[in-house]
Amino acid sequence: MERMRVVVGDITTLALDAIVNAANASLLGGGGVDGAIHRAAGPKLLEECRGLGGCPTGAAKLTRGYDLPARFVIHTVGPVWQGGKADEDALLASCYRRSLELAAGHGLTRIAFPAISTGIYGFPAERAAPIAVRTVAEVLAHDRLFGEILFCCFSEPSAELHRRSLRSLSADDRPLN
């Protein structure tokens, strides 16, 4: 799990191949990380997004990064929390998986993820972090293309949930003697 790292900060400042946007289905900007990415990228991002025709929950689409330090933005639409009875876990995992598949298809090896769906969409952060870490780890286990995957958390409590998930994953990987 040496290719995964947790940082606390502003995802819009990261100079990577791509950052992931926790977008809404229209891809036309919104609040939280979505609004911050659109503001930092400038109006050309919105212009490109208008031509994409939106994005379904659990899927991902790629745009240029424009005024961002990241070369590209991967937009993914996370599930709105409905109490865990509407396949939210699988849809959230799909966001991470589809984002990495899209990145791999474009040769993008250094990616940063926000904590998808844990803001206004209400997905419990303590449930989302293990799903995020486990899903990314599963992709990394089968794809050596990726160099560095960051979980860029806006707060220290979110970062600690991701660190705990990474530690737990590492503990699960230790051989049983």
The residues that are catalytic are: 34
The residue among 69, 118, 74, 119 whose CA lies nearest residue 97 is 74
CA–CA separation, 40 and 45 (whole Å): 9
Q: How many helices (H) and strands (E) does the chain have?
A: 5, 6
Q: CA nearest 137: which of 28, 29, 5?
A: 5
CA of 154: how far to CAs of 84, 112, 158, 160, in Å?
A: 24, 12, 7, 11
Side-chain half-sphere CA neighbours of 145 within 13 A: 17
Secondary structure, 3-state, 70-113 = CCEEEEEECCCCCCCCCCHHHHHHHHHHHHHHHHHHCCCCEEEE
